[in-house]
């Protein structure tokens, strides 16, 4: 007997594949994602706007609390605005790195990445994409709509965004030049949104280098609990 719904429902029949094909596809996807690295050295070669649009469309397919999709991706391609973002980010980062705002423990954790307050990539990369999280919604009459699981939802959407860029052969960095209030100002976003992650987007520079990091092995990130 068909269930009675208070809202429209439609059938959903995701593809089923033979076991060996499932594993082969899973392995291929894992190996593809395992080749992704965060990049701090970009080429200034132009990237079609459509690629950025497709990555945002992909991010927008993410699951979200109560399907509220509490995100906005602000896209910046013009050199003047990129320069304003770089200059404002570097003001904050100089305070972090040279002004002592990063704790000694934090500096120590960052040392292997050799990061510093120079954020030249914010001008070199052809696109900057700033993801904003909607802390709450606003109805047309100005009253607030409570949003649920905002951090989880926006984090997942940003993960999809990163994966989509990687699938297109593009690189990015999850940059958080804290505090990020300057992005609200420069991007002209309303008070219910807070800057979440700033992504430079482009091709990796031909001579780009990344730290020689390893990833935790499976047995350190997956445990099975059984009641048997
Ligand atoms: N926002 C600074 C510091 C920084 C913090 C973390 I945690 C990193 O993984 C990397 C950098 C910066 O971008 O340099």
CATH number, position 145: 3.40.109.10
Report helix, strand or coil for 57: helix
Average pLDDT, the chain: 97
93 lines ligand 1 (CB under 6 A): yes
pTM score: 0.96
Number of the ligand 1 atom closest to the C-alpha atom of 175: 13
Residue having the nearest C-alpha atom to atom 1 of ligand 1:
177
55 falls within a domain: yes
Total number of domains constituting the chain: 1
9 falls within a domain: no
26 falls within a domain: no
Of 148, 161, 162, 174, the C-alpha closest to 69 is 148
226 falls within a domain: no
Average confidence (pLDDT) over 38-48? 98
14 falls within a domain: no
Helix residue ranges per DSSP H, the chain = 19-34, 49-59, 79-97, 104-110, 121-124, 150-167, 181-187, 218-221
57 falls within a domain: yes
Number of the ligand 1 atom closest to the C-alpha atom of 178: 1
113 lines ligand 1 (CB under 6 A): yes
19 falls within a domain: no
Host domain of residue 101: 38-206
Question: What pLDDT, on a 0 to 100 scale, did the predictor assign at position 1?
Answer: 62
């Amino acid at each position: 007997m068909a269930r009675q719904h208070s809202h429209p429902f439609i059938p959903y029949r995701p593809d089923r594949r033979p076991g060996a094909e499932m594993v082969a596809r899973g392995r291929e996807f894992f190996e593809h994602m395992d080749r992704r690295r965060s990049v701090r050295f970009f080429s200034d070669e132009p990237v079609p706007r459509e690629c950025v649009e497709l990555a945002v469309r992909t991010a927008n397919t993410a699951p979200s609390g109560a399907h509220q999709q509490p995100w906005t991706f602000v896209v910046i391609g013009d050199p003047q605005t990129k320069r304003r973002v770089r200059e404002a980010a570097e003001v904050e980062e100089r305070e972090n790195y040279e002004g002592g705002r990063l704790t000694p423990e934090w500096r120590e954790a960052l040392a292997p990445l050799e990061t510093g307050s120079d954020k030249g990539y914010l001008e070199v990369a052809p696109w900057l994409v700033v993801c904003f999280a909607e802390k709450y919604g606003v109805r047309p009459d100005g009253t607030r709509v409570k949003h649920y699981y905002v951090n989880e939802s926006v984090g997942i959407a940003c993960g999809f965004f990163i994966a989509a860029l990687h699938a297109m052969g593009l690189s990015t960095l999850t940059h958080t030049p804290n505090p990020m209030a300057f992005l609200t100002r420069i991007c002209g976003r309303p008070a219910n949104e807070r800057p979440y992650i700033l992504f430079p987007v482009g091709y990796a520079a031909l001579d780009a280098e990344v730290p020689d990091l390893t990833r935790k092995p499976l047995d350190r990130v997956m445990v099975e609990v059984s009641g048997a």
